Amino acid sequence: MGAYILRRLLLMIPTIFGIMAISFLVIQFAPGGPVEQAIARMSGVNSSLSERFTGNAQGDLAGQGTAQTGEGSGSLYRGSRGLSPELVARLEIQFGFDKPPLERFGKMLWSYLRFDFGDSYYRDISVIDLIRDKMPVSISLGLWMTLLSYGISIPLGIRKAISDGSRFDIWTSTVVVIGYAVPGFLIAIALIVLFAGGSFWSIFPLRGLTSTGFADFPWYQKVIDYFWHLVLPIIAMGVGAFATTTLLTKNSFLDEINKQYVTTARAKGLTENQVLYRHVFRNAMMLVISSFPGAFIGAFFGGSLLIETIFNLDGLGLLGFESVANRDYPVVFATLYIFSLLGLVISLISDLAYMWIDPRIDFESREV
């Protein structure tokens, strides 16, 4: 197993390199970068200032703008007309665009290998501190939603497989499919209207993960307050996640229950629980485990943007969206690097979990 783990760890290096290289090409050279955005803001300021002047003062300002326009006409940036080349050059130095692309990419990789992500362009804080500040929200949403989803979906899927075709199977399938079809943000809005001070009851809080004065609460009240704030966001995120895992578990168990070894086990006199949990479980759970990395990463980082916005939770989903919109490249690439690395590690852990479920799997002889 040690050789397999080493091969997988070494394979992460070119994988991360490829992800970062493609993202660099797509994002770094996209129009509307940080230099262009800074130029646009400065041009807007200059335009608003010029509107304040009349008569000779306005004519003087227009004359200066004409002179500057002639100097800055050779700039590569849209909107730089009217700004001096020296100012544009200072902006390039400030955002690191004064160096060739390959040099910028190599410097970024070397810094990321040391987990040095630099500072945000538009926030007076380092990227790692910014991510650390947003992490509690994403950890809370992703971790508890994943645990709740798998904790309910797996037993429910097993029960549906055992009672396939029964009334219980039919109405539970109807409920989970409807929950999957309804978008999470609509469920979130409905929960707010019903239970968070909308048009009916005001039972659950609507903002943040903790209440005012949380630090002074006794420990048991802190636990209650923390989970009380999570009830509505977790429900809104988790309703759609139940369907995939539940139906996958059911179909996996149904496929295994109809195999010959199950008939043989029953013929030997084993009880139904022994057949299910000693023989069927470890084979049926392979597909469920293989889907865990994608589900976890999606719940942890990708699926919480709208939920964070609706429930006023400042997490990594909202941070990533704002960073892409504002072209805050240090935050964009740092979050991409961390998420990709975490996804690869979780994928490796998922493969190793196969051995725990089924010791017959031999990783030493498996090709990566």
Per-residue pLDDT tens over the stretch 317-327: 788 888 888 88
The answer, yes or no, to whether residue 238 has pLDDT greater than 60, is yes
- What is the CATH topology of the domain spanning 127-357? MetI-like fold (1.10.3720)
CB 222 within 8 A of CB 214: yes
Chain-centroid distance of CA 29 in Å reads 23
Write down the domain spans for the chain. 31-95, 127-357
Q: Which two tokens stand for residue 301?
A: 């980082």
pLDDT in tens, 264-273: 888 888 887 8
- Tallying the residues shown for the chain, one arrives at 368
Burial of 80 (0-12, 13-18, 19+ CB in 10 A): buried
User: In whole angstroms, what is the distance from residue 368 CA to residue 363 CA?
Assistant: 9
pLDDT in tens, 132-190: 888 888 888 888 888 888 888 888 988 898 888 889 999 998 988 888 888 888 888 88
3-class SS at 270? coil
Q: Which two tokens stand for residue 154?
A: 């797996």
Average per-residue pLDDT for the chain: 78
pLDDT in tens, 304-313: 677 888 888 8
User: In whole angstroms, what is the distance from residue 231 CA to residue 148 CA?
Assistant: 11
The answer, yes or no, to whether residue 250 has pLDDT greater than 60, is yes
**DSSP E strand stretches across 87-134:** none
Q: Which pLDDT belongs to residue 96?
A: 75
**Model confidence, pTM:** 0.71
Q: Which pLDDT belongs to residue 51?
A: 45
Q: What is the DSSP letter of 196?
A: B
The answer, yes or no, to whether residue 61 has pLDDT greater than 50, is no
Q: Annotate 227-257 with b (16+ C-beta within 10 A) or e (fewer).
A: ebbbebbbbbbbbbbbbbbbbbbbbbbbebb
Q: Which pLDDT belongs to residue 70?
A: 39
Q: Which two tokens stand for residue 19?
A: 């992800």
Q: pLDDT class for 59, splitting at 50, 70, 90?
A: very low
CB atoms within 10 A of CB 204: 19
Contacts of the segment 195-202: beta carbons below 8 A, 24+ positions apart = 195/232, 196/232
Q: What average pLDDT does this structure show over 257-282?
A: 83
Q: Give me the phi and psi of 230, to 5 degrees please.
A: -90, -15
Contact partners, residue 328, CB within 8 Å, separation at least 6: 34, 120, 121, 122, 123, 322
